[in-house]
Amino acid sequence: MSSLASSREIQEKVLATQGRPGAVHALLIVAAAAAAAFGAWCWSLQIRYGLQVSGLNRPVGWAIYITNFVFWVGVAHSGTLISAVLFLLRAKFRTAVYRVAEVMTVFGVMTAGLFPIIHLGRPWFAYWLFPYPNERHLWVNFRSPLMWDVFAVSTYFIVSAIFLTVGIVPDAAALRDATKGWRQRFYGLFAFGWQGTDEEWRHYARAYLYFAAFATPLVFSVHSVVSWDFAVSILPGWHSTIFPPYFVAGAIFSGVALVVTLLVPLRRILHLESLITPWHLDMTSRVVLLTSLVVTYSYILEYVLAFRGPPSVERSTLAYRATGPFAPLFWTMVACNCVIPLLLFLKKVRARPAALLVICVLVNVGMWLERFVIIVTSLSHDRIPFDWAGIYRPTFVEVGITLGSLGWFFLWFLIFVRLLPVVSISEMKEASVHGVEDAA
Amino acid sequence: MESKMRPEAGVLGVFSDLARGAQAIRALRAAGHSDVRMASPAPFPELVEALGRPRSRLDSATLSGALLGVLAGFALCIGTAIAWPLVTGGKAIVSVPPFVIIAFEVSVLVGACVNLVALAVTAGRGRRRRPVPFDPRFSADRIGIFVVGDGLGDAETILRTNGAEEVRRVA
């Protein structure tokens, strides 16, 4: 099979997703904008009255904001995993799903980046995080994991945005040549004069390989760096050598689950069922299952390491996590991340998009809880029993900002899917000619 | 969107089948046509291979950028640590292990940015030096094979016999 007969059909299906949103889509955009506006108002309260409006207090100085930061950086990982790592591994199922994952990465990092600034309390001093020449000759501390974070997350955002933009170029050219008026001019901006000549493809293929090669170590490094925010401290519950692989596996787990969460309704709303097929969902959900098993292993290992040695503060903290006032959250996390994903072993569950959606939403709830449990329980139960009485409760400002971050993320995402192709047209054309799914 | 560049005189064949397009390119090269170009909607490796073009050389620019990033990362960390020699966490002023992380991140950042610039320069230059007549079908569902040089009558015959659905002269 080498005919390009289905190429135009693919292009027209993707083109049909562009432009004026339907009623459901418009409603979702309004809801996301309202949530983002509510979050912004809550943040304005915090700026006005200070961190006293949050539930942060001694000993819990890091809580829901840092939980959100780690969660959003985590979900951003799947984009690079699917687009770069699976590209290098030549996994064919990535073709239909990688654009959604890349878009999710960029907007996920944009959302994550808000939280350290919100957490600062005085966001107007956020520029202190960056190294710049100043009159006091005072520089940032590059020995601090928080500074590694600034560099890791900034690099991740820039590289992911470049990767996404470069991937869009041939698709924007195809849409530019298929449209007229302002849409032609708009797509022309993203096409950068692309004509699809052999010279362009020759350099493009090589450059894309390099982008993938650069992005791949970032998948593993960024969340390792985020885990070091915790692991290089000496706090029981945080100070652990298994944190980097544990966090990376968790990041990929939550990220791929969010990709499935987005894909299932998206393919229906945008009528992309023939491009994003049950096979693509099946293969993606297998990644969710695999990473769920790795995360489960990490949970078990964390407890085994603490309980095999002599009695320690670490053991006490982990026992508190599973039996203390936060135990319902801990066991919900275990159910969502370790037990429910086991259903994905069943082929008939993987074949049902609705079941996948429910499982993946629960995985995201579980992964958010995991970050919350790690951060808050460890701080609530440190070495000084005097501190143990304090139970952290998020205030409505913190909950509002968290809801606002969801609105912020979905607002960007929902606007994007109407402006630029959410499925890679050129790679789908290549896959259709080579009969990828038939060969798999 | 039509290119402002005017391609040289030649013969343009339009194909709707990948295998036939690749076969036509091979036949044209075997017949002595050295300047065969192509435009396609997707990066079909068969066509690129049939054209026999050398591998892109943007590697050297990209890798130089990555190396420059490593040096810049270390220079930033070491230079600023020496400029403000404050001991923190009991670590040495120039403590290399934590600086490796910054050097790695800056290396990836600079390497990726240089890769982007190299792509823009090389692909843009290639498009200008070896243009193919514009046809919106080449970004949709057709492959364009463009032959430049002498013996265009022979090229027309080869394109037709290899299954071109349309062949035309470009003046």
We report the CATH number of the domain holding residue B45 as 3.30.70
Angle at B113 between CA A85 and CA A138, to 5 degrees: 110
B5 within a domain of the structure (yes/no): no
| Chain A residues touching residue B17 (CB < 8 angstroms) | 2-4
- Assign B88 to helix, strand or coil: coil
pLDDT for residue A434: 80
Instruction: Judge: A217–B108 Cβ closer than 8 Å, yes or no.
Output: yes
A201 and B105 within 8 Å at the Cβ level: the answer is no
**Range of the structural domain that residue B62 is part of:** 58-124
Question: Positive or negative, the Cα torsion across B84, B88, B93, B96?
Answer: negative
The DSSP annotation for A210-233 comes to HHHHHHHHHHHHHHHHHHHHHHTS
| B141's tokens | 């569902």
In a domain, B1, yes or no: no
When pLDDT is cut at 50, 70 and 90, the band that residue B39 belongs to is: very high
Secondary structure of B117-167 in HEC code, one letter for each residue? HHHHHHHHHHHHHCCCCCCHHHHCCCEEEEEECCCHHHHHHHHHHCCCCEE
CA distances from A188 to A169, A183, A284, B6, B7 (A): 9, 8, 32, 19, 21
Same domain, B73 and B115: yes
Residue B136 and residue B110 in one domain: no
Phi, psi dihedrals of residue A326, rounded to the nearest 5°: -95, 10
CA distance B83 to A362: 50
Within the 73-102 window of chain B, which residues sit less than 8 Å (CB to CB) from chain A?
Answer: 76-77, 80-81, 83-84, 88-89, 91, 95, 98-99, 101-102
SS3 assignment, position A237: coil
Q: Do A139 and B136 touch (CB under 8 A)?
A: no
String of DSSP letters for A56-72: -BTTB-S-HHHHHHHHH
- How much is the average pLDDT of B1-20? 78
Mark which residues 135-164 of B lie under 8 Å from A by CB.
136, 138-143
Question: How does the average pLDDT of chain B come out, rounded?
Answer: 89
Minimal-distance CA residue of chain A relative to B130: A199
Contact B14/B144 with Cβ under 8 angstroms?
Answer: yes
**d(C-alpha A18, C-alpha B136), whole Å:** 19
Q: Are residues B77 and B48 in the same domain?
A: no
Nearest to B83 among A139, A173, A192 (CB): A139
pLDDT band at B4 (very low <50, low <70, confident <90, very high): low
**How confident is the model at residue A431, as a pLDDT?**
87
Three-state DSSP state, B14:
strand
Cβ separation A196–B1 shorter than 8 A: no
pLDDT of amino acid A18: 87
CB < 8 Å from B in window 410-439 of A: 425-427, 429-430, 433
The first and second tokens of residue A164, run together, are: 């996404």
Residues B51, B68 share a domain: no
Count CB-CB contacts under 10 A for residue B106: 23
Contact list, A4 vs chain B (CB under 8 Å): 16-18, 41, 141-143
| Residue B108 CA, distance from chain mean position | 20
Residue in A closest to B98 by C-alpha: A143
pLDDT at site A405: 97
B70 and B115 share a domain?
yes
User: Backbone phi, then psi, for A255, in 5-degree steps?
Assistant: -65, -45
Asked if B106 and B86 sit in the same domain, the reply is yes
**B143: distance to nearest CA of chain A, Å?**
9
Q: What are phi and psi of B15, to 5 degrees?
A: -120, 145
| 8 Å CB contact of A217 and B1 | no
Residue A184 contacts B where some CB pair is shorter than 8 Å: yes
* Burial state string for B65-79 with b = 16 or more CB within 10 A and e = fewer than 16: bbeebbebbbebbbe
Percent of chain B topping pLDDT 70: 96
Check if the beta carbon of residue A105 is closer than 8 Å to that of residue A76.
yes
Amino acid letter at A377?
T
For residues B113 and B76, membership in a common domain is answered with yes
Chain A residue with CA closest to B69: the answer is A155
Neighbours of A23 (CB within 10 A): 7
Interacting residues of A298 by C-beta distance below 8 A, sequence separation 6+: A242, A245, A246, A249, A250
pLDDT truncated to tens, each residue of chain A (440 aa)? 577 778 888 888 888 888 788 888 899 999 999 999 999 999 999 999 999 999 998 889 999 999 999 999 999 987 788 888 888 888 888 888 889 999 999 999 999 999 999 999 899 999 998 988 888 778 898 999 999 999 999 999 999 999 999 999 999 999 999 999 999 999 999 999 999 999 999 999 999 999 999 888 888 899 999 999 999 998 989 999 999 999 999 999 999 999 999 999 999 988 899 899 999 999 999 999 999 999 999 999 999 998 988 888 889 999 999 999 999 999 999 999 999 999 999 999 999 999 999 999 999 999 999 999 999 999 998 777 877 766 899 999 999 999 999 999 999 999 999 999 999 999 898 888 887 554 44
Which residues of B fall within a CB distance of 8 Å from A138? 84
B31 in any annotated domain: yes
Q: What is the CA radius of gyration of chain B?
A: 25
Q: Is B43 on the interface with A (CB under 8 A)?
A: yes
If you measure CA to CA, which chain A residue comes closest to B66? A214
For A100, half-sphere exposure in the C-beta direction (CA atoms, 13 angstrom radius) is 28
Q: Taking a C-beta distance cutoff of 8 angstroms, is the pair A101, A252 a contact?
A: no
Is the Cβ pair A429, B109 closer than 8 Å? no
Number of H helices, E strands in chain A: 19, 0
B135 and B51, same structural domain?
yes
Q: How far apart are CA A115 and CA A402, in angstroms?
A: 9
**B77 token code pair:** 């960390």
Across the A:B interface, residue pairs with CB atoms under 8 Å apart total 212
Is A139 in Cβ contact with B81 (below 8 Å)?
yes
